Amino acid sequence: MSAVLPRDDEDGVLTPESRIRLTASVFAGRLFQVNTPVVTWYAQKFLAAILEGCHGMLVCGRTRLGKSMGTRWVLNHLKDLVGSSVPWLEVPIRSVSDPTDGGFFEYLLVTAKHKHSSDGNGPEKRNRFVKWMLARARRSPLKMFVLALDEAHLLPPMALEWLLNLDNELDREQCRLFVLLVGNDDLLKMQEECLEKTNGEQFTERFMSTDFRFTGLTSEDDLRQVLGAFDRTEYPYGSGKNFTWNYLPALVAAQFNLSELAPAMWQVLSNIWSEHLKGQPIQVPMAHMTRALVLLLNSVAEEGGRERPTPPQIESAVERCNFERHVITRKMSDKAGSKGRRSTWGARI
C-alpha cells in the first residue's frame, strides 16, 4: 500500500476513503503483522525445534487466534531468528475431492510461482518441486528448507507420505526439510490417528515431534503488549509513522499510546467472556482484538480525533467486533466437542 494516504488538510486525520483503504489493508492478511507475546513464544519454540534437529512442528489452536499471521511473522523473521538465510515456502492447503500426488505437487509449484508448474506428469512435477527445494536449500548455510502448510488439517491422508518422500529426498542430498503443520485442533486428532496406524510413527516422530498450542490474548498484560506493538509498528511501510498516527495524529502528537486503552478494553472483553464462559480461562482471538481496535480508532477519528477514547467508545467498539458471538460459538462448539465430534481429518467437503 502506498505510504502516502490522502488526509484532511485541517487536522491531518485521514479522509474516510483513506481510512477504509487502511482498514482493508490491515485485514488483508499479509502486509501488516505485529509481534504478540504468543508469537514470541511460537518463535522461540520454532527456533528450538530447528536447533534440535527436528524435521517438523505442529502448530494448532482454535480458529481466528492468529496462527497464520503468527506463522508469517515467524517466517518473515526467520533470518533474524536463525542467524542466516533459510528458504521457506508458505502453502495454504486447500481441500480437494480427489487428491493425487500430481495435483498436490503442482499446487506446491503454483504456490511457489514456478515457471513450469503444470508441465509433465505427477512424478515429473514431484521431481521438479524437489529439485527446486534442493536448489534453494543448498544455497542456505543451514542446508534446510522450511515448508509451512497452513490449514494442514485439510491435508489428505497420503500427503504425509508425500512429505515423507520429500524429506527423504532432501536428506539424501544432505539437506533438511522442516515441515510446519499449522491448523486447528484437528491436527491433534491427525496426530492420534497416525499413531493408530501401522508405521504411522514415522510421520509423527518426524513432523509432529514438537507441537505448539496457539492461544489468544489471555491477560490484560498480553493486551497491553499487543497494543504497544501496534504503536511501534510502522504502517504503511515506508511512511515513517506508526499505525496509530494514521488515525489520530493529534493524539499521537500529544503522547497518546494505545496501551493506555488496555485496562478499559480488557474489562469489557472480560465481562463478555465471563457472561458466557465463566470459569474458563479467557482467550481473546487476535482477529477480534484487531477489529475492535480499528473500530475504536475509526470512531474516534470520525469525531475529530482530538479527544482520547472514552469508555463508552471502547465498549461500543468491542461490542461491534463480534467478540460476543465468538464466545457464544465457542461455547456451543465446546458443548459439541464433549459429545465426541468426528475428526475432520481426511473428511471430504
Partner 1 sequence: MADVTTWHRGGILRFESMASFGAKYCEACEIGTSGFARLIMSYVRERERGHGHGRGQGLSGEPIRDAMGDSFSWQGCTIDEPRLDVPGLAKFLDEPLSILSTMSLRPFILDVGASLLLASKKDKGEEDFRSLWGCECCLAAGYHSVLHQVSWLKRCYIHGTPLVLVIEHCPPPVSGLRTDTRGISPLRELWFGKRARWPLGRLRALEQGELEIDARSRGAALAVQRVVSAIRLRATTGDKILNFRASQSTGEIATLVADIFGVCMPRWTRTTDRPKLRSRTTVQAFEPSELHAIRQFGLLGTHWFDRLCSARVLQCIWEDQFPAWRQTTIAASKQMRAGHELCADEFAAHAGNEPFWMGRTLLEKPIVLSIAEVCKVWRCLPCDRTLSLAMLVRRHQLPGPGHNWHSAEAFNGLAELAGEIFGSGWREQLVLSRLLRLVRAPSQEGMAVGETVRGVGVTDVVLDEKLSRVVMGVVPKVIAPSGRLAQLVDEVLLLRECAAIWAVYDCEGATRRDPYLGFAMRTYAEAFCARSPAYAMSMTSDAVLLRTWARAPSEHPPWTMKSRPSRVHRELERQMRARLARLMEGEKAAYHEAICIGTGEARPPTGAG
Contact residue for partner 1 among 128, 224, 291, 326 (CB under 8 A): 128
- Residue 135 as a binder of partner 1 (CB under 8 A): the answer is yes
Contacts 24+ apart (CB under 8 A), 197-203: 202/164, 203/160, 203/163, 203/164
Query: Which residue, 48 or 135, has its beta carbon nearer to partner 1?
Result: 135
Given a contact cutoff of 8 angstroms between Cβ atoms, the answer to whether 194 and 204 are in contact is yes
Taking the CA of residue 46 as centre, how many other CA atoms within 13 Å lie in the half-sphere pointing to its CB? Answer: 29
Cα 179 from Cα 58, distance rounded (Å): 9
Q: Which stretch binds partner 1 (CB under 8 A): 122-130, 212-220, 315-323, 333-341?
A: 122-130
Minimum gap (Å) between residue 28 Cβ and partner 1: 16
Minimum gap (Å) between residue 119 Cβ and partner 1: 5
- Residue 88 as a binder of partner 1 (CB under 8 A): the answer is no
Cα 301 from Cα 185, distance rounded (Å): 39
Minimum gap (Å) between residue 103 Cβ and partner 1: 16
- Residue 171 as a binder of partner 1 (CB under 8 A): the answer is no
Cα 87 from Cα 139, distance rounded (Å): 9
- Residue 30 as a binder of partner 1 (CB under 8 A): the answer is no
Q: Name 299's bridge partners.
A: none
Q: Which stretch binds partner 1 (CB under 8 A): 43-51, 132-140, 300-308, 334-342?
A: 132-140
Given a contact cutoff of 8 angstroms between Cβ atoms, the answer to whether 14 and 6 are in contact is yes
- Residue 116 as a binder of partner 1 (CB under 8 A): the answer is yes
Contact residue for partner 1 among 19, 55, 64, 125 (CB under 8 A): 125
Convert 1-18 to b/e letters by CB count within 10 Å (16 or more is b): beeebeeeeeeebbeeeb
Letter for the amino acid at 97?
A: S
Minimum gap (Å) between residue 134 Cβ and partner 1: 6
- Residue 28 as a binder of partner 1 (CB under 8 A): the answer is no
Q: CA-based angle 9:14:19, to the nearest 5?
A: 160
Residue ranges with strand state E in 120-183: 144-150, 176-183
Q: Which stretch binds partner 1 (CB under 8 A): 32-40, 52-60, 126-134, 196-204?
A: 126-134
How many residues bind to partner 1 according to rule CB under 8 A?
18
Minimum gap (Å) between residue 139 Cβ and partner 1: 7
- Residue 306 as a binder of partner 1 (CB under 8 A): the answer is no
Q: For binding to partner 1 (CB under 8 A), which residues are involved?
A: 112-116, 119-120, 124-125, 127-128, 131-132, 134-135, 138-139, 173
